[in-house]
Each structure stands twice: as structure tokens, then as C-alpha cells.
Amino acid sequence: MRTLSVVVAACVGTAVACCGPVQAAPTGLGLGAHGGYGQSVDAESGSPVAGVHAVLNPATWLGVVASVDYKFEEDCSVEESEYSVESYPLTLMARVYFPTETFSPYLAAGVQYRIIKYGGDLFDDVELDDSENAFGWVAGAGAVVNPSDSYEVFGEVLYELNDPERDLGEAVEDAGDFKYDQWSVRAGFTFFLN
């Protein structure tokens, strides 16, 4: 987790150095893109995540973020079987900003709906739908830098708790024990339509 904190601090520090003094979080509607890296608890390795988002800041201390992401394929292993998992998270969360002279740290929390797709030899001989859905919760923290009232850059660390339907049939029962809870670190930018 220390590494994640260093990454977020580096992103925000770079933005401050490049952009100079910041302002309070802009109000209004903003659109942007983000990317990063994350890993499920039981995955053998993590994978990139990329997406787009919309931010609505009704006040300088409060924001609402809706995002659509693609979580690239993660490799998993159950006994002697290898399989992969990729997903499409849809997230809605609130941010509470704490502005300072140089940047605005924030806490975030919300809900998530995740579409999960499976692949690999564990599913080769099984005739069933190789996808399922999961509902979950998201919590995290980050910081934004607002060089003007028209755009911002941000970095954040999120933890996502998911509860898949696990409707995979007895043939892939082992996959039902895979934990989808995951952490991610990401950075992005938002342009406000003011």
C-alpha cells in the first residue's frame, strides 16, 4: 500500500509542479478519461484498467463521479486449471473534497456493478454462459489539482468489494471460490463544460 501512496503523491506532485497554484474544485459538469493498474485478491497478477468518467460538482467540497471501465484480463489458477477473468465495472461514487493551498485531497465511496467474463482451459469443455454479474461497493481516497476552473488532474487509490452471482455450474465449481475484491490505483483528467 505504501507503493500506491507514493504513486498517487507523485502524480499530484507532478501536476502541481507543472501547473502552479491551484483553485478550489470547479463546480459544474466535467468529462474525462483515466487509466491505471489493479489486481484482484486471488489473481496471480494484476492488469491495466482504462475508462471514461463524468464528474458533477454541485459544490467546491462535493463531487459525484460516474465511470465506465475496462479491466484487462487477469490470469488465475485453480489446482491444475488455468483461466482468465476480465471485467467491465460501472461505478457511481461520491467525493468529499478537503481543499488546501496546493491541492484538494478527497475521500470517495459508492456502488459498483461489474460484468465479468471468463476464459481459458477451465471453461473449454463446459457449455454454459461464460459471464456473470456482480454488485459491490467502492471506497478510496485521492487528490485533485485544479490549475483553472476548466480542468483538473487527479490520482486515487480504490478498493472494490464485489459479490458475483457465481452461477457457473458444478463443472467449474472451483472458480466459484475466486475472490473478486480488488485494489486499483489510477490517474486521469477532467475537462469541465462551464
Region 138-157: mean pLDDT is 92
What CA–CA distances, in Å, run from 151 to 107, 133, 147, 148, 190? Answer: 20, 34, 7, 6, 5
Q: What is residue 175's predicted lDDT score, i.e. its pLDDT?
A: 54
d(Cα 91, Cα 68) in Å, to the nearest integer?
A: 7
pLDDT classification of 91: cutoffs 50, 70, 90: very high
> What is the overall mean pLDDT for the chain?
79
Segment 21-48, tens digit of pLDDT = 445 667 889 999 999 999 887 778 889 9
pTM for the whole thing? 0.77
Segment 3-21, tens digit of pLDDT = 444 444 444 444 444 444 4
Q: What is residue 126's predicted lDDT score, i.e. its pLDDT?
A: 56
> How far does Cα 64 stand from its chain's mean position?
14
Give me the domains of the chain, ranges plus CATH numbers. 2-192 (2.40.160.20)
Region 127-142: mean pLDDT is 80
pLDDT classification of 1: cutoffs 50, 70, 90: very low
For the four alpha carbons of 94, 138, 119 and 129, in that order, the dihedral sign comes to negative
Region 69-84: mean pLDDT is 77
Q: What is residue 121's predicted lDDT score, i.e. its pLDDT?
A: 60
> CB 59: neighbour CB atoms within 10 A?
10
